[in-house]
Amino acid sequence: MKSLWQNGVVMPRFEPLKGNGKTDVLIIGGGIAGLLTAFFLQKRNIDYILVEKNTLCTGVSGNTTAKITFQHGLIYNKLLKKHGLVLAKAYLDANRNALKKYRELSRDIDCDYQEKSNFVYSLNNRPKIEKELEALEKIGYTAKLCEKLPLPFDTVGAVEFKNQAQFHPLKFLSQISKGLNIYENTFVKEMIGNTAVTDGGKIEAKNVVVATHFPFINKHGLYSLKLYQHRSYAIALENAPDVGGMYVDESKSGMSFRNYSDLLIVGGGDHRTGKQGGNWQELRDFARVKYPNSREKFHWAAQDCMTLDEIPYIGKYSKHTDRLFVASGFNKWGMTGAMAAAEILCDLIEEKDNELAKLFDPSRNMLTPQLALNGFESVANLLSLSTKRCPHLGCALKWNEAEHSWDCPCHGTRIDEKGRILDNPANGK
Q: What is the pLDDT of residue 385?
A: 60
- Judge whether residue 372 has pLDDT over 60: no
For range 222-231, the mean pLDDT? 91
pLDDT tens across 271-325, in order?
999 888 999 999 999 999 999 999 999 999 999 999 989 999 999 999 999 899 9
Residue with the larger pLDDT of the pair 336 and 383: 336
Compute the half-sphere exposure of residue 198: CA atoms within 13 Å on the CB side of its CA: 26
Helix (H) or strand (E) holding 205: strand 202-210
Cα 175 to its chain centre, rounded Å, is 20
Least confident of 71-75, 80-84, 155-159, 162-166: 80-84
Q: Residue 376: which of 247, 272, 234, 293 has the closest Cα?
A: 272
Tell me the per-residue pLDDT of 57-66, one tens digit each, with 9 for 90 and over: 988 899 999 9
Asked if the model's pLDDT at residue 381 lies above 70, the reply is no
What the chain holds in terms of domains, given with CATH numbers, is: 115-164+226-307 (3.30.9.10), 369-417 (no CATH)
* pTM listed for this prediction: 0.94
> In whole numbers, what is the pLDDT of the chain averaged over residues?
93
What pLDDT is recorded for position 253?
87
Distances (CA, A) of 398 to 384, 402, 408: 10, 12, 6
For residue 146, the model assigns a pLDDT of 97
Does 185 have pLDDT greater than 60? yes
Q: Specify the DSSP class assigned to residue 297.
A: E
Cα-Cα-Cα-Cα dihedral sign, residues 132, 134, 137, 142? positive
Residue 426: predicted pLDDT? 84
What is the CB-side half-sphere exposure of residue 387 using CA atoms within 13 A?
0
Q: Which residues contact 398 (CB under 8 A, 6 or more apart)?
A: 274, 275, 406, 407, 408, 409
Dihedral angle over CA of 302, 304, 158, 340, nearest 10: -120
pLDDT band at 13 (very low <50, low <70, confident <90, very high): very high
Predicted pLDDT at 373: 63
CA gyration radius for the chain? 21
Is 60 exceeded by the pLDDT of residue 383?
A: no
Q: Is the pLDDT of residue 1 over 90?
A: no
Banded pLDDT at 384 (limits 50, 70, 90): low
Question: Please, what sign has the CA dihedral across residues 388, 391, 396, 399?
Answer: negative
Q: Given a cut of 90, is residue 412 above it in pLDDT?
A: no
User: Please, which contacts does 401-405 make with residues 24 or more away whose CB atoms are closer than 8 Å?
Assistant: 402/279, 402/280, 402/281, 403/279, 403/301
- Are the C-beta atoms of residues 343 and 40 closer than 8 Å to each other? yes
Q: Strand 67-68 relative to strand 157-166: parallel, antiparallel, unpaired?
A: antiparallel
| d(C-alpha 41, C-alpha 145), whole Å | 40
CB 111 within 8 A of CB 167: yes
Q: What pLDDT sits at residue 367?
A: 57
Task: Say yes or no to pLDDT of 188 above 70.
Answer: yes
Q: What's the rounded mean pLDDT across residues 130-151?
A: 97
Whether pLDDT at 43 is above 60: yes
Say which DSSP state 389 is in: B
Better pLDDT: 8 or 77: 77
Does residue 376 register a pLDDT over 90?
no
Q: Is 332 helix (H, G, I), strand (E, B) or coil?
A: coil
